Structure 1
Amino acid sequence: MDKQHWLGLKPWQRYAATARAVAAENPSAEFCFETAAVFWGLQVVGVPSHIHLANASRGHAGARSSSTCAAVVGPSHATGLERVRGYGIYRHYYSTGTVALRGLRLTDLPRTAVDVLARGSFSKGVVLADHAISASRFPSLVTSKATLGMAAENLASHAKRERVNSILSFADKNSGSAGESLSRAQMHLLGFPAPELQCEFHDAMGFVARTDFFWRDQGIIGEFDGDAKYLQDEYLGGLSAREAVLAEKKREDRLRAMGFTVVRWDWATANDPAKLTAKLLAAGLAPEPNTAKRTIHQRAQG
């Protein structure tokens, strides 16, 4: 690949290009875990550190560091890649069947999902599970909690099965985006009361908004603001970014006029428990008694 093109790619794009390069070099490669999830189109928080391959022998299993390289430039011996992350290969001693998808061999969708859920944090697992069971967000390949639960029965350990089932029991098909799913999982771990999702509000002029989160007893509305909401054409509905921001402000003003408190946050806040806690406390929402820092599993926090 041309180096300047590579340097111009976003991390997700570099990750996918690396996986495609592995497949080109080894057409029999079988992808699993987060790599298979990426190719299935499941929402994964963060960029994986490795390309994950299944069905390695014991002698060939294990992680290898990135082999991405480029020619040096001039006497500085710089390559241009010094600050650009490369992705290594992780071969797993893991015997499982795979299916074909767009020229690649992947673990099937339910097995891929539960494999990722069994390895990651509770909050990141909720992002993937919410997406997998949402017909509106994952229409072509939507699956069900029951199907994922059946796939979880094939996991090797009781602890992993419990871990996956705890995420599935919490997952909600009504979550509207990855950022909303992450926020809701963090709220749960922090002990805040569970919100209602996707509630509609009307005033004397008619429909006002469908909100991300609503705490009815406290009269508090929560809204997650992802960058795409104001930057990507498909979310703007023909409006400019400035017009979209103004329309959002008018909706919020109407909600406040109805007597509700409105609190908003972004990805950086959703990813930071301390920042999210401060936001919700400032809006008047308090953790429930004796539920602070709920723990699904010690490794599941985050």
Structure 2
Amino acid sequence: MQLIDAAALHRSTGDSRSLRRRYARGELVRVRKGVYAAKDEWISLPPWERYRQTILAVNLELPSSKFCLNTAAVLWNLEMLAVPDHVHLAGASRGHRGRSLPTTSAARMPSGLCGLEGLTSYGVARHASRGPTIAFGGLQITPLPETVVAVIARENFAAGTVLADHAIGMRRTSGPRVSKDELLGHAARLESGARRRWVTQVLNFAVANSGSAGESLSRAQMHLLGFPAPLLQANFRAGGHFIARTDFFWPQFKLIGEFDGDAKYLRDEYLGDQTSRQAVLAEKKREDKLRAAGFRVVRWDWATASDAARLGAVLRNAGLPNSGTRAKRTL
């Protein structure tokens, strides 16, 4: 999608009215002051991409912006549980700190609707200086280790685990690498003792071999609910032949746990040469082989992983015991 910078258009063509006319006709969305986008394209964007485009619009409106916290994490292509509520900027003076409401708008048509009903827009949150920034992807953002530690310090245990697992994880394919030891070193330099302990606790729980954000979320929920820790990415063989690699495995209970994200059956990069139907059938055959080998298999989806009570019930019904009380790590 192409953002339209009104100031740049005026400098190159002398035109200062066409954008306002197109906006009035309902063709454009005003994302930020002086920054427009085609309405049909804007509406079609998924939430994460709409947030990314808002970041770019903020940078056009406020050149040399310094992005931090969750916004910097998005720009580092790190996985998080939810789209941030605001675009986070660093380096604000005392009088300019705080949050502002979204400015994304579209003209109302004769129907009384503007076309953006039901779409989330993002305001700006200005923070005091959060240290140096570096150039990445054409923007100024806080360095990767500082970003990860700063976001974990503000998030709950599950959200922090999702971010930490991906930051150090083997499945992360874009951006520079960062190790757990490097993150722990940055955490040790946090001024707040409570935040140092919190971030250290999350990082010590983080692993590099989590297969997806949904698996990281599930593992954090299990931990908080007092379930025994599973083995991750366990390989199974029968008769000398490889059967499967599973998400979670509890050997003492002969129980296998599988997180089913929609992407496994819907996205081309996961399907390869298979159709969705073929992928479902292959998964069923794989599970049948595991059951034939004497293992029980329990599955859950993103909605269940997001709800601790539901996930706890699924695991208990599958025969996995837990302490029955939520861990102190939720406090």
**CA root-mean-square deviation:** 1.2
Counterpart residue type for residue 276 of structure 1: L
Q: Distance in 1 between matches of 2:309 and 2:108?
A: 43
Deviation at 1:2, TM superposition (A): 1.0
8 A contact 1:131–1:138 mirrored in 2: no
Which of 86, 89, 106 aligns to 1:50? It is 86
Q: Distance in 2 between matches of 1:279 and 1:183?
A: 12
Q: Please give the TM-score of this superposition, normalised by the length of structure 1.
A: 0.95
Partner in structure 1 of residue 101 of structure 2 = 65
Map 1:36-47; keep pairs closer than 5 Å: 36-47=72-83
Q: Distance in 1 between matches of 2:139 and 2:205?
A: 32
Partner in structure 2 of residue 204 of structure 1 = 239
Deviation at 1:138, TM superposition (A): 3.9
Q: Distance in 2 between matches of 1:170 and 1:220?
A: 22
Secondary structure of 1:217's aligned partner:
helix
Partner in structure 1 of residue 282 of structure 2 = 247
Partner in structure 1 of residue 329 of structure 2 = 296
Question: Which of 149-158 and 25-34 deviates more?
Answer: 149-158
Partner in structure 2 of residue 224 of structure 1 = 259
Give per-residue Cα distances to partners, 1:73-123, cap 9 Å, x unaligned.
01x322111211100000001341000001100000000000110001101
8 A contact 2:237–2:244 mirrored in 1: yes
8 A contact 1:131–1:137 mirrored in 2: yes
Residue 66 (structure 2) pairs with residue 30 (structure 1): yes
Which of 175, 179, 182 aligns to 2:210? It is 175
What are the ranges of 5 or more consecutive residues in structure 1 without an aligned counterpart? none
Q: Distance in 1 between matches of 2:98 and 2:152?
A: 20
Q: Distance in 2 between matches of 1:146 and 1:205?
A: 38
Secondary structure of 1:199's aligned partner:
strand
Secondary structure of 2:257's aligned partner:
strand
Structure of larger gyration radius = 2
Map 1:73-84; keep pairs closer than 5 Å: 73-74=109-110, 76-84=111-119
Deviation at 1:136, TM superposition (A): 3.3
Q: Distance in 1 between matches of 2:130 and 2:202?
A: 25
Q: Distance in 2 between matches of 1:211 and 1:259?
A: 15
Deviation at 1:241, TM superposition (A): 0.6
Map 1:1-302; keep pairs closer than 5 Å: 1-74=37-110, 76-138=111-173, 140-204=175-239, 206-288=241-323, 292-298=325-331
Q: Distance in 1 between matches of 2:249 and 2:181?
A: 28
Q: 1:219 to 1:92 in 2, by over 3 A?
A: same
Secondary structure of 2:186's aligned partner:
helix
8 A contact 1:213–1:223 mirrored in 2: yes
Q: Please give the TM-score of this superposition, normalised by the length of structure 2.
A: 0.87
Work out the number of aligned pairs and report it: 295
Deviation at 1:51, TM superposition (A): 0.2
8 A contact 1:133–1:173 mirrored in 2: yes
8 A contact 1:132–1:138 mirrored in 2: no
Q: Distance in 1 between matches of 2:245 and 2:232?
A: 9
Deviation at 1:233, TM superposition (A): 1.1
Q: Of the two structures, which has the highest relative contact order with CA contacts closer than 8 Å and spacing of 6 or more?
A: 1
What are the ranges of 5 or more consecutive residues in structure 2 without an aligned counterpart? 1-36
Q: Distance in 1 between matches of 2:304 and 2:170?
A: 27
8 A contact 2:48–2:83 mirrored in 1: yes
Deviation at 1:139, TM superposition (A): 6.1
8 A contact 2:254–2:296 mirrored in 1: yes
Percent of residue pairs bearing the same amino acid type:
54
